[in-house]
Structure 1
Amino acid sequence: MSAQPKTEIRPIDHVAERGSDASPALVLRGGTLNHKQLRDRVARLAGWLASLQLEPGSRVASWAAKGELTCLLPLAAPRAGLVHVPINPLLKRGQAAHILADSGAQLLIGSDARLASLDHADCPAACQTLSEDAALADSADAPLMGPSSADSDALAAILYTSGSTGKPKGVMLSHANMWLGADSVTGYLDMTADDVTLAVLPLAFDYGQNQLFSTWYAGGCVVPLDYLTPRDVVKAVERHGVTTLAAVPPLWVQLTEQQWPVETAARLRRLTNSGGALTVDLVAKLRALFPQARLFPMYGLTEAFRSTFLDPGLVDAHPTSMGKAIPHAEVLVIADSGEVAADGEEGELVHCGPLVAQGYWLDPVRTAERFRPAPVSSHYGGMAVWSGDRVRRAADGLHYFAGRRDAMIKSAGNRISPQEVEEAALASGLVAEAVALGIPDERLGQAVHLIVRPLAGSSDAEKELPRILMQQLPNFMQPKVIHWRDAMPISANGKIDRTGLYQELAA
C-alpha cells in the first residue's frame, strides 16, 4: 500500500491564503500588492474566468512576460476549475502553436505582440484569444470567487518540457503535486514571512513557478524580473531587499563576474541552484561572494518536480554532490539488475512519491516509457519516474551524478530537444542531413552545435541557414556553431555516427 504524506494537501490556489493581510506579496511595475490585495486579484480573475463558462478542465494558456497576469493565473485558473498552460515567452510562433494545438487550449491570453505573431491556423478552432491588458481590465470588477475545493488529484496545470526527441511534451501536474512542492521547498529552505524572492526564472518552468508558490506559502513577497543584463539582478537585489535568489549555472557564472557592493551581497540569505550542476570553481566563487548566504544545490526534473538537495552545511566538503531526497520525495538508485544499487554502484535514478506527475498529456506511449511502477523497495509504491539519469549513492547517503542516458541538450538551464533543432534545419530546404549536439561550454553548461550536409546546389546555404533558424527557433535554441560537412560519418549500424561527432567536437 502506498504511504501517504502527513502534510495536509489543499488546492494550489490556497497558497495565496496564508500571508498576513497587510504584508507585501507581489511587486509589480504599477505598485506592490499586499497579501489581501493578492487574494482579491486572484479571486476576481478566477471569477472572470468562471463567467466565460468554459467546460471544467478546459486549458487556459498564457503567453506573456512576467507581470500580474502570469503571476496570478497559475492560481486563478485552477480556482475556476480550469487547467493552466503557461507558454515560455521566449518561445516563438512554431513552438507556441505546437503547445496550443497539443493542449487543445480553449483560451489564450497573451501580450499583443505575441498574439499578433500567430496565424489563424496556429490556434485550435475553439480557442479564444485575448490580450493580457483586456483580461486584466475585464476581471477588475468581476465577482470574487472563493477558494477551490478541488480534489487533490485533479489536474491543475500542464507544463511543457523538451525531451531528447520530438517536440515538447506536456507534463500533467495535480493540485497535490504543486501544493506539496511548495510545502517541501518552503520547509527545507527555511523560508519565512519576511523573505523577498527575486523571480528571475521563467514562470513556465516548474522551478520558476515554484518561486511564487513557495514564497507565498511562507507568507513572503515575490519580485518578478525579466532582466536584460546580469547587472539588473544586482540592482534589483539592492532595490527590493531580496533575500532569496534562484538561478541556473550560466546565470550564476555571470553574477559572479559582477561588482557586488558588500552590503548588497549581504542581503541574500539563500541561493538555490538547479537546471544543471555547479562546478567546484563556481561553488567557491559563490561562497566567497556571498559568505553569509546558504547555498542550496538542487536536482530535479519536471516529471517529478525537485528530487534532491544538498544541505548547505555539506557544500564545502561535497561540492559535486546532488545531496539527498527533499521532503515528500523518495529517490532510489536502481542497478541494471533491477535491484537497489550498492553503495558506490552506478544505477538509474528513480523518483517515487506524491511529487511524481500524472504523466504526459494525451501521450500514453511516452508516458509508459518514463512513468512505470515503482521498484518493490519503494516506501511509497505507485507510479514512479524512471529518469534515465545515471547516479551513484555513497555510503553516507549522498548522491552523485554520473551521466545522462539520453542525448538531451541542457544549455543555460534550458532543456533542448536535438531533434527539434535538426527538424528546423531540414525544413529550411538547404541541408540534406543535420545533427544537433550539446558540447560542453564553460558559460552555458552545453552549447548547441549543429552539423549539417548541404543539399546540392544550395550555394547560399551557409548565409541563409542561420537567418532561417533565427526566425524559426527561440534564442536559447540557436546553434552556437554550425559545422558544414561534405559527408557525415557513418557508424557500423549504418546510422550517422553521433558519438564520433561528439568526441571530435568535444575534444
Structure 2
Amino acid sequence: MSINCIRTLLENAVETHGNKIAVTHEGKSITYDELFKRVNQVAFYLRELDLPKDARIGIYSNKGIEQVIAILAILSTDYILVPLTRLLKPEQVEYIINDCGIQCIITDRLKLESIEEINFEGHVISYETTSKDVPSFEEIYKYYNKPYECDISGHNNAVITYSFGLTGTPKGIVISHRNLIDSARVVSQYLDLQEDDVISGLLIFNLDYGLNQIFCSLYKHATLALHRFILPEDFFNHLMNDKVTVLPLMPVNISEMFDDEISRIPSPELFEDLRIITSSGGNVTAKMISDCKKTFRNAEFYSMHGLTEAFRSTYLDPSQVQIRPDSIGKAIPDVELYVINEEGKECAPREVGELIHRGGYIYRGFWNAPKENAERFKSIQILKDVINLEGQLTDEIVVATGDYVYKDEEGYLYFVSRHDDMIKTRGFRVSPYEVESVVAKNIPSIDRCAVFGLENELIEEEIVMVYSATSELSEEEILFELKKHLASYMIPSKIVYKRFLPLVQSDKNRVNKDELKRELADS
C-alpha cells in the first residue's frame, strides 16, 4: 500500500485510535473502528460492481456520516470520486455525468427523485432502503461482512471536482491521492493541528477545501463534527455542543454568522475552546476579522488563498491579520510564488503582475479540457528570466494562475483581480479592484460598488461604476474623490446609482457583475 493515499490514513487511524470518535453529526457519532468497518463494506460492494479501473462514481446527497463513509469507500477502490453538491440542479448534475462519464451515483432518499428526473442509466445506490430496485447502505451493512483489502497507488487519480460559476460550463479538475495527502499534511503542519482537536465539518464536500477537513481529521486522528449552516443560532449551538476547536469557513459564512439582523450573539465565554479559524474562497474584510475576534477571543484567524489548479498558494499568519487585512499572505510550505509582468520579468514591489505557482500541491489538470490546460499549466520556462534554470530539468510544470497580484516591500501578496476581470482601455490594463478599493476607503456613504468594463469600439472598453447607497450622490462629488487617488485612465466614464446591487447567490460578499452588465447592455 502506498504511503500517499487516503486509505493509508484511515488504516493508521484505526490501528492507533480505533475507539476514538471519528465523526459526529446531529447527536450521532461513529468511532474509527466503526467507520473502517462501514467503509470496507461499501468498498467491497462497489468493487463487486466490476466497473473498469478509474470509473467515476458520483456522490449527490445531503451531509451526514453516510456521506463521509461513501467518500472514503470510493477512495478505498481504484475508482474516482466525483462530489456533486446537493445545491446543484438536475440539469447541472446531468452535465457533470455526461462530461466525465459517471457510471454510478451514491445518493440519499431526498436526492433520489432528482436522479430519476435525469434518467441516469448507471448504477444508483441510496443510503436508506427505498425500493427493491435500488440497493442501499442499510442492506450492504447487513449482508457484506467479508474481509476487504486493497492496494492504492498514490499516483492514482482520486477525485474530480467541479464548480459552477456565473458564466460558461464548468471544467472538472483532476486530483490524485498524493495531492490529497500532501494537502492534509501541509495544513496540519502550518495550523499545528492536534489529535484532540474537533474540526468543524461545516463546508460542503464538493471542493478540495471542504474535503480537506475529512483528510486532516484522519491525518491527525482528530474528530470531525459535521454541520449544515441554515441559521446562525444553530451554527453557534454546533460550536458549543460539539466543542469545536478548529473552524474552517468561507467569507460568506462569516457574513451570515454576524448578519446585522441577528439580535443576539452568544457570549464570547462560550467559545473558549475554539482556537483556530481558517477562511478561503473569497476576500476577507476588516469587519469580518473584527467580528470573529470579538466573539472568538482565543481563536487565531488564518486567511488563505487557494487555486483551482493547485490546493493552496498562500496563507496570512494570524499575527498579520489585523495589521494588513487586505493581504493574502505569503507562500505556504513547499511552494514558491512569483509575480511576473507580460514580458516575463519579475515585478517590482507594488507592480501588478500574474501570480505563478511553483512547487507542491499542483493538481493533474482539467478533465477533457486541453485549451484550459494549455492556459494554466506551463513549462518552468515561463520563469526563465526570474530564476536560474542552468542545469535544471526543464519539464517541470508550474501554474500560471490567472490571478493578478502585487507584493509589498516586505513580500506580502495582495490580490488585485482575475485575468478575465481586467479592463483594457486606451492601451492600459485597469484592475476593477483598485478602483473599488479607493471607493471603499474614501467614500463611506457608498454601501457597495462594482466596477467593470463595457465594450467601446473607440477605446476597447469603457470603465463603468455602479454603486448603492442610502441616497444618490452627485457624480461630481464621486469623480472629485476618485481623481485625488487614481490615474486619469482609471476614472470611470459612466457612474450609475442603484438602491441595491444584485449579489451572487452563493456569496453575499460578491456583486453579480454579469447581471449588471446585462442590465446596462439592454438599456
Contact persistence 2:77–2:152 (CA under 8 A): no
Contact persistence 1:176–1:354 (CA under 8 A): no
* Rounded Cα–Cα distance in structure 1 between residues aligned with 2:304 and 2:282: 9
Are residue 157 (structure 1) and residue 154 (structure 2) matched? no
* Rounded Cα–Cα distance in structure 1 between residues aligned with 2:311 and 2:328: 15
- Corresponding residue number in structure 2 for 1:92: 89
* Rounded Cα–Cα distance in structure 1 between residues aligned with 2:138 and 2:379: 47
- Corresponding residue number in structure 2 for 1:500: none
* Rounded Cα–Cα distance in structure 2 between residues aligned with 1:138 and 1:334: 57
* Rounded Cα–Cα distance in structure 2 between residues aligned with 1:343 and 1:147: 54
Aligned counterparts, 1:240-319, within 5 A = 240-257=242-259, 259-319=265-325
- RMSD in angstroms over aligned alpha carbons? 2.8
- Corresponding residue number in structure 1 for 2:231: 229
Quote the offset at 1:438 in angstroms.
Answer: 7.6
* Rounded Cα–Cα distance in structure 1 between residues aligned with 2:146 and 2:414: 49
Contact persistence 2:91–2:118 (CA under 8 A): no
Contact persistence 1:11–1:148 (CA under 8 A): no
Give the 3-state SS of the residue equivalent to 2:414 in structure 1. strand
Classify 1:407/1:89 alpha carbon distance in 2 versus 1 (closer, same or farther; 3 Å). Answer: farther
* Rounded Cα–Cα distance in structure 1 between residues aligned with 2:33 and 2:165: 40
- Corresponding residue number in structure 2 for 1:79: 76
The amino acid across from 1:404 in the alignment is R
* Rounded Cα–Cα distance in structure 2 between residues aligned with 1:73 and 1:334: 43
Give the 3-state SS of the residue equivalent to 2:96 in structure 1. helix
Are residue 445 (structure 1) and residue 509 (structure 2) matched? yes
Between 61-70 and 378-387, the greater mean CA deviation after superposition? 378-387
Contact persistence 1:22–1:36 (CA under 8 A): yes
* Rounded Cα–Cα distance in structure 2 between residues aligned with 1:46 and 1:242: 30
The amino acid across from 1:91 in the alignment is L
- Corresponding residue number in structure 2 for 1:135: 136
Contact persistence 1:25–1:32 (CA under 8 A): yes
Aligned counterparts, 1:59-458, within 5 A = 59-119=56-116, 122-123=119-120, 125=121, 127-133=122-128, 134-140=135-141, 141-143=143-145, 148-162=150-164, 165-257=167-259, 259-374=265-380, 375-376=383-384, 377=387, 382-407=396-421, 444-448=508-512, 451=515
Give the 3-state SS of the residue equivalent to 1:298 in structure 2. strand
Contact persistence 2:354–2:400 (CA under 8 A): yes
TM-score normalised over the length of structure 2: 0.75
* Rounded Cα–Cα distance in structure 2 between residues aligned with 1:62 and 1:191: 28
TM-score normalised over the length of structure 1: 0.77
Cα offsets for 1:135-184 (capped at 9, x unmatched): 31233142466564322221001001235742111110001111100001
Classify 1:295/1:30 alpha carbon distance in 2 versus 1 (closer, same or farther; 3 Å). Answer: closer
Question: 5+ residue gaps in structure 2?
Answer: 129-134, 423-431, 433-500
Question: 5+ residue gaps in structure 1?
Answer: 1-7, 410-436, 452-480, 490-507
Contact persistence 1:28–1:223 (CA under 8 A): yes
Cα offsets for 1:238-266 (capped at 9, x unmatched): 11111111111121122234512233222
- Corresponding residue number in structure 2 for 1:16: 10
Are residue 488 (structure 1) and residue 522 (structure 2) matched? yes
* Rounded Cα–Cα distance in structure 2 between residues aligned with 1:392 and 1:144: 57
- Corresponding residue number in structure 1 for 2:29: 32
Give the 3-state SS of the residue equivalent to 2:313 in structure 1. strand
Give the 3-state SS of the residue equivalent to 2:312 in structure 1. strand
The amino acid across from 2:204 in the alignment is P
Contact persistence 1:171–1:357 (CA under 8 A): yes
Contact persistence 1:370–1:387 (CA under 8 A): yes
Contact persistence 1:46–1:144 (CA under 8 A): no
The amino acid across from 1:365 in the alignment is K
The amino acid across from 1:179 in the alignment is I
Classify 1:317/1:148 alpha carbon distance in 2 versus 1 (closer, same or farther; 3 Å). Answer: farther
Larger of the two Rg values belongs to structure: 2
Give the 3-state SS of the residue equivalent to 2:512 in structure 1. strand
Q: How many residues align?
A: 423
Quote the offset at 1:120 in angstroms.
Answer: 6.3
Quote the offset at 1:117 in angstroms.
Answer: 2.1
The amino acid across from 1:22 in the alignment is N
Cα offsets for 1:372-423 (capped at 9, x unmatched): 22334389972222111111122322111111212499xxxxxxxxxxxxxx
Quick one: percent identity of the two aligned structures? Answer: 30
Contact persistence 1:101–1:122 (CA under 8 A): no
